[in-house]
């Protein structure tokens, strides 16, 4: 239901014609009718799906952010669903990496995470403020990476034993320390409807370019293994010398 959620909300913003936005569709036609319309929008992925859903609010945000950023007035989005789920940009990544990169282009939004939503329950809530009056679009050039300046992150759980986030945090800091990288990872319990666990690591080089790396827990997977998976992604990026992480690379295409 993710494509349907995004397309219907975008249609309401742009008074657009949308065809093919049904489950199982192999083709989606989107034809904007007029310039994007700023305003206050509320979207619940679960209501769209007709059942409980952890569909990604991050993908919905990315779909409507650019049209509203180029509109003639301010907008507020209230998006409910999965805030931290696999195969999509989670809210922490959007705030720490995606929007940090776009801010250098002059595209800005303020995000307020009201509640976390893990798979499969969802139920998270994100409030986003977009004010085009602050936007002055500039080019962005990222061709090389400077030395890393800092590494930080969060090991977060909801409705799970208290030792789990600390084990993830400790293991991540130890793995990175073995490679000569100092990191600060906070162990944190968060408010969510269902159980969930994940570790969210970030880097920033001396030029201010950020990257993000994520791993989610699942039943039967030790907390230490979750931390190691995120560290493996971070270390692969670190050794590559690439100016952006592999997820940000494709997410920058549309705004650029």
pLDDT attached to residue 1: 44
Element housing 240 (H / E): helix 223-240
| Residue 60, pLDDT above cutoff 90 | yes
Q: For residue 113, list its beta bridge partners.
A: 126
pLDDT attached to residue 5: 64
Q: Could you tell me the pLDDT band of residue 249, with boundaries at 50, 70 and 90?
A: very high
Q: How do residues 74-97 score in pLDDT, each as one tens digit?
A: 999 999 999 999 999 999 999 999
Q: How do residues 14-30 score in pLDDT, each as one tens digit?
A: 888 889 988 889 998 98
Q: How does the average pLDDT of the chain come out, rounded? A: 92
Question: CA 78 to CA 180: how far, in whole Å?
Answer: 41
- In this structure, are residues 227 and 215 in contact, taking their beta carbons and an 8 Å threshold? yes
Entry pTM: 0.91
């Amino acid at each position: 239901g993710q494509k349907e959620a995004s397309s219907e909300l975008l249609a309401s913003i742009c008074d657009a014609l949308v065809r093919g936005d049904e489950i199982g569709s192999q083709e989606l036609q989107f034809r904007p009718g007029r310039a994007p319309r700023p305003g206050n929008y509320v979207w619940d992925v679960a209501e769209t799906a007709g059942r409980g859903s952890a569909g990604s609010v991050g993908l919905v945000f990315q779909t409507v952010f650019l049209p509203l950023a180029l509109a003639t007035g301010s907008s507020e989005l209230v998006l409910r669903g999965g805030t931290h789920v696999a195969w999509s940009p989670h809210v922490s990544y959007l705030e720490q990496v995606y929007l940090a990169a776009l801010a250098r282009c002059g595209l800005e939004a303020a995000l307020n995470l009201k509640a976390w939503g893990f798979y499969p329950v969802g139920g998270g809530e994100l409030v986003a403020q977009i004010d085009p009056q602050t936007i002055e679009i500039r080019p962005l050039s990222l061709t090389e990476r400077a030395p890393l300046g800092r590494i930080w992150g969060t090991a977060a759980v909801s409705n799970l034993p208290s030792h789990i986030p600390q084990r993830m945090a400790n293991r991540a800091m130890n793995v990175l320390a073995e490679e000569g990288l100092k990191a600060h990872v906070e162990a944190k319990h968060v408010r969510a409807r269902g159980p969930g666990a994940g570790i969210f690591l970030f880097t920033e080089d001396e030029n201010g370019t950020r990257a993000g790396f994520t791993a989610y827990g699942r039943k039967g997977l030790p907390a230490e293994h979750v931390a190691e998976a995120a560290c493996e992604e971070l270390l692969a990026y670190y050794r590559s010398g690439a100016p952006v992480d592999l997820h940000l690379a494709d997410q920058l295409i549309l705004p650029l």
